[in-house]
Structure 1
Amino acid sequence: MLRKTTCFLLFLCSFFSIGQAQSVKKTSLLWEVSGNGLQQSSWLYGTIHITCPEDLQFSAATQSALKHSKQLFLEIDLEAPDAMAQMQQNMMLPEGQSFKSLLPEADYALLATWFKDSVHVDIAQLDRFKPIVAVSLLSRYLLGGTCAQITSVEAALTKLAKESGLTVNGLETIPEQMALFDSIPNTEQATSLVKTLKERDKSREMMQQLIVAYRKGDVQALHDLISSTPEMENYTDLLLYNRNRKWVPILNEQMQKGPAFIAVGGGHLGGTNGVIDLLRKEGYTVNPR
């Protein structure tokens, strides 16, 4: 469950992100980064983090770009030796707190019934975990209405990268990414979870729309769909724009060392504060491929 939850944490960082003006007009998941002193091109790739297995059919251009890179950069490296231990440690509530205490009794009872009937989990097993674990289970269930199985784009890219001898790195550490969610009150996360459950048909429709946009390679549509979600509008800078700005200096340094393949949530690419436009402002040429 920990690895699945980790993948979903990545998904949330893109799913709950509020957009601004449209700036990326062309559609592609793969973008070539050149110029500004680079001896060889690097590559940006938009992911949706968890999706259906049929979406792992990477284009020939994507496979070639990855094969000819020296490093793969993901938001976090799920293959790091202590990744799962760090994740488990950071998913626990502080001593003395419980998931049950975050919600009114009626809402907790609603969740308990749903978890028992739909995912066959006794909600008491989640009592020491932060709400994000319950959110992960619910959202994987909702995505299950779109495809029979769920898989990770990052895991597939990591496998291909290792087969080609690339090193794999994270733009963030697990504690850094978990700290993003710790900035959002646990009570607010729990309340949002209940709302999502009560509006699960609407939430499932939203996920279906995201997958359609992803299959078209339309990162701007992903950005626009994400921008329509009101739940996290107070956390735009926290979950999206501040992270984009933090990543750009790292990418500046690493791309100058050699060709890099950078795979981050598609919601991070579009918009005037997206990674594509931020790299262009640094002097790079960024074009769809």
Structure 2
Amino acid sequence: MRFLKLFALPLLTASLLSVSLTSATAVAGGEQAAPAAAKAPPVPLLWKISDADNAVYLLGSFHLLRADDYPLSADIDQAFAASDKVVFEVAPEEMFDPTVGQRFMQRARYQDGGTLSKELPADLREKLNRVLAKNGRSLSQVDALEPWFVNLSLVLGVSQSIGFSPQLGLDQYLMRQAAEAGKATSGLESMDHQLDVMDSGPVDEQIKGLREFLDKPDEVPGMLEDIHKAWRNADLAELDEKARREMKDKTPQTYRMVNTERNDAWVPQIQKLLDDAKKGETLVVVGSLHLLGDDGLIERLRGKGYKVERVCAACASGTPDLAAPVAPAPAEATEAGGASGKPVKTGSGKPAR
């Protein structure tokens, strides 16, 4: 839960935060990703969804990356080159609207006279004060901010202190690439809708997420490294366990708003890209969480009858294109294979046996 937004929301607004709650390494807004010969490119979370006459590439993003996560794999470069249009969660012109920072902070603040110290139980106030004190701050300085924002700021501070940057995130990188190539871009939702989603989680679930951070703050860097490694290696089982399943189990209402409802809204838009255009391909870039599980975009589009192929030259033959579903309880074990009852397909489109 504490790392959800690394997958589900494009933290590009993070670079606009005027409040830094933990020490962070500053990264210039115009910084470009530098090639790193020491590492192989990350294994892409990339799928090709197609009908009879055109295709949509679906790419799972990680919104905070390091310079040595570049260059990208040839698979992504080829999908980008083949696409006439690149679609993001939010259109670049909306993401970089100069009013976003102000609108973001408006939602982060209590509007009804509430305060953070009133919301948090005594033990959590004490833990938060201890974390803030290490950076010369106190609870009184953030008392007007809601728990979700404080949690987000803490995670961002730690991530930036170990070298991650939203400016180097896959979304921003591809936005720059699209601008340089003169490709058309658009968004699946508005910036205001995304800000509303961030601000709408139930208070008890917001506090639960903040508690996860504050209970073991020294473990957060290692957890960030682990989940980043899983993304780099396209370890679908690990990502599904640490991102989707954990959030769905611990904060089900937040999961519904951040993941399920947004997937519901995006599927018809992706279908429209396939059904309306008679030629031309599109690259769609979304947080990796949105591709996982039986309620993810991949399975939802597979269920609509489109051809679904994993695009991964680095993957071994027979690699499944999604993490295996969780086995049902014995009394409910009436189906085998994927979440829809179908066999899980491999990258070649053949069922895994």
* TM-score for the superposition, normalised by structure 1: 0.80
**Partner residue in 2 for 1:11:** 6
Provide the secondary structure at the position in 2 that maps to 1:93. Answer: coil
1:167 alignment counterpart: 184
Q: Distance in 2 between matches of 1:177 and 1:14?
A: 8
Decide whether the 8 Å contact of 2:127 with 2:214 is kept in 1.
no
Contact in 2 for aligned 1:67/1:161 (Cα 8 Å): no
CA distance in 2 between counterparts of 1:189 and 1:78 reads: 28
The residue that corresponds to 1:19 in the other structure is none
- Aligned pair partner of 1:70 in 84, 92, 95: 84
Which runs of 5 or more residues in structure 1 are unaligned? 1-7, 16-26
1-structure distance, mates of 2:178, 2:102: 23
Q: What is residue 261 of structure 1 aligned with on the other side?
A: 283
Query: Structure 2 matches for 1:231-250, cutoff 5 A?
Result: 231-250=250-269
Higher relative contact order (CA 8 A, sep 6+): 1
Q: Aligned equivalents of 1:129 and 1:33: distance in 2?
A: 41
Aligned to 1:22: none
Counterpart selection for 2:165 from 150, 153, 168: 150
User: Residue 246 of structure 2: which of 225, 228, 231 is its match?
Assistant: 228
SS of 1:243's equivalent?
helix
For the residue of structure 2 that corresponds to 1:42, the secondary structure is: strand
What amino acid is aligned across from residue 177 of structure 2 in structure 1?
L
- Name the CA shift for 1:45/1:64 in 2 (closer, same or farther; >3 Å): same
266-275 or 132-141, which deviates more: 132-141
Offset, 1:201? 4.2
1:171-215 per-residue CA deviation (whole Å, 9 max, x = no partner) reads 122332233344323354134313321123444443222111111
Deviation at 1:247, TM superposition (A): 0.6
Alignment CA distance shift 1:199-1:41 (3 Å): same
Post-superposition CA distance 1:26-75 (Å, at most 9, x none) = x741211222x4x3322110112123332242112212212332222222
Q: 1: CA distance between counterparts of 2:251 and 2:70?
A: 28
Tell me, yes or no, if the aligned pair for 1:75 and 1:172 is still in contact at 8 Å.
yes
Contact 1:102 1:187 in 2 (8 A): no
**1:88 offset after TM fit, Å?**
2.9
Over the aligned positions, Cα root-mean-square deviation in angstroms equals 2.8
CA distance in 2, matches of 1:154, 1:44: 13
Question: Any idea what SS the aligned residue of 1:273 has?
Answer: coil
- What are structure 2's unaligned runs of at least 5 residues? 11-42, 312-353
Distance 2:109 2:127 in 1: 22
2:62 maps to 48
Could you tell me which of 96, 101, 107 is aligned with 1:90?
107
Q: 2:271 & 2:216 partners in 1: Cα distance? A: 42
- Assess if the C-alpha contact under 8 Å between 1:32 and 1:288 holds in 2: yes
SS of the equivalent of 2:110 reads: coil
Q: Give me the identity figure in percent.
A: 24
Distance between the aligned counterparts of 1:116 and 1:167, measured in 2? 47
Alpha-carbon offset, residue 220 of structure 1 = 4.3
The answer as to whether partners of 1:29 and 1:218 remain within 8 angstroms in 2 is no
Residue aligning to 2:332: none
CA deviations 1:129-181 (Å, max 9, x no partner) are 32222112211244357x43433221111111111112332212233223334
The one-letter code matched in structure 1 to 2:217 is R
State the alpha-carbon separation in 2 of the partners of residues 251 and 85 from structure 1: 31
Gap change, CA 1:99 and 1:87, over 3 Å in 2: same
- Note the alpha carbon deviations across 1:247-272, whole angstroms, 9 max, x for none: 11011113433421111111211212
- Which letter maps to 1:47? S
Q: Distance in 1 between matches of 2:147 and 2:225?
A: 24
Distance 1:231 1:53, change over 3 A: farther
User: Aligned pair in 2 of structure 1 residues 180, 244: CA closer, same or farther (>3 Å)?
Assistant: same
Query: What is the count of residue pairs matched by the alignment?
Result: 267
